[in-house]
Structure 1
Amino acid sequence: MQLRNFDLNLLLPLRALLEEKSVTRAAERMHMSQPALSAALARLRRHFNDELLERRGNSFQLTPLAQQLLDLTYAATAGVERVFTAQAEFDPATSTREFSIYGSDYVTAVLGPSLLDVLSEAAPNVRLRFRPMTGAVVADAPDSVRDDDGVLMPHGFLTGLEHLDLFVDRWVCMVDGDNSEVGDTIVLEQLAAMPWISTYSGISEYTPPMKQLQLLGVEPQVKLVSNSFTVLPYLLADSNRVAFVQEALGKQLTTHSAGMRIIDVPFDVVPLTEALWWHPVHTLERDHVWFRSMLRKAVLRAGLTPAPPRRPS
């Protein structure tokens, strides 16, 4: 189908209908009359040859196709907004731009507060959106981040994207403070015998020290897998369990969650270098260049260890 044959004015009504699942609510949101929005729905149904909204009792539900379209409309409207809000110059003081990035709760916790501070000082009307990291984002990159401002993630997972190294961190072990089986240090034999809380587990979802542990011949006894680092104190409390955590976050968690301890890992763990990864289409955008500079400032504000400058290739 040729794009010129489709009425792009239907894109926003489509998103409103799919999100609200109600002609009445969608009409109110779009500031349109109900007959006008009903006519738009009829045109959309003819175009897609699908009901999109199906009545179930006293409410409407999305059809399987409509459910797919819902995610696509997010990307489409974000792309359209980027096109028509692009400017030759970027003025942070007056901008109402929303910057959207993917990241784990680790990077949100250690960098998020300082990033909010530096953004608020330089651009009081700018908004920040952290999207949860998923395996699909990594597997489908760079297409998955084309319409967002990037991914905050360590090296070793993403390819085909531009990147800016931000800060370095190291891995440590975390245990409950009353765990009598562990002293000030820990050895490989103990890690082999202790029950584990693992953060992320999959082909593209894993923590490097867990992989290294397996390469050393230790198969950890994983009792639970979590896609969250900040819940570790709750999962380790009052137990002999152990988990790997990034040192910067571990220090935060032991400060705010009394009773936790962090201990050096008993083998040489490859340190992590956290970076912002983005689609090349954003490299020269003035607002994106500015945002990257704010990330550098946030790293210093947060007291993290800045990544060394990249050597020229």
Structure 2
Amino acid sequence: MEINETLSQYSDLLYTTTVAIYVLALLFTLFEQAFGAKGRLAAERSRKRVLVGAGGPDSDDAGIEDGDVPAEPEAPRAVGRAERIGRMGAALLVLGALLQLSAIVLRGLAVHRAPWGNMYEYGMAVTFITVVAWLVVIKKFPVRHLTGFLLLPVVILMFINGTMLYTVAAPVVPALQSYWLVIHVSAAIIGSGVFLVPGVASVLYLFRTAHDRNPAKFAGFGPKLPAADVLDRIAYRATIVAFPIFTFGVLCGAVWAEAAWGRFWGWDPKETVAFIAWVIYAAYLHSRATAGWRGTRAAVINIVGFAATIFNLFFVNLVTVGLHSYAGVS
């Protein structure tokens, strides 16, 4: 079918607009993280735990009597302003997600197929899933002020995707003209996109626990993060959601490979790294379920899986050549 160039151009414009909106949301939410009430309250709770350990007053009234809050008459207005800016950042995040979804849909309408037939389209869909997953997380957990840390890798990935990996709208090669493109690749997109959330949560968990062990470490940053167990729950629950979907995608890829190439597995670079990532996440879930591994060791495993996912998303397609190269940069 003929490519609809007009819809393709609108899709590209919406993609660029989405990146700009995400950058604004990133700045707004980082402002809330730095100056918002949640960060201040977390720091205050951390300070009181230190005072209790040193034999100081531990009640909320004692903290007020010390003059922490009343001594700063401008603080309530500053905190309220930061929270309003944080809510604006969250609204921008929703708007960006809607525009990104529109860009994906228009790309599909322009090429008359599932809009993930090359690396540009794949990256656009993966980052969209990451943002949607994070919107679900901030609905269930009071971690909106951490949105900037999630958006930072998303914006970087989208910038790389829209510059180095951009591909003009075109039909896919015959090898991809299969219903497996919808089944296998969509499962890989959802699994990979959700995996970015526990990766970021685990990185923040390490910062939080490092501060808890030594309050002098990351003194200006660590106390403003949620409690370590909250970050651990976010990482674990997101991984539980993503892992079976990713597993399904890997299995569907093997079935498709047998139909297309006559073998289930060929140790293609992308297949190999996907399998390594699968093993890492399986080890993470298995260690928590059987060995009771929690905390730092589990977070490190999750971060390694996060690194493998990012490596497979971009580096494999940019540097190596394999059977999946037809979906790469052109």
- Which interval holds the TM-score relative to the shorter structure? under 0.3
Provide the TM-score with structure 1 as the length reference.
0.25
- TM-score normalised by the chain length of structure 2: 0.24
Greater C-alpha radius of gyration: 1
Relative to its length, the structure with more helix (as a share) is: 2
Of Structure 1 and Structure 2, the greater strand share is in: 1
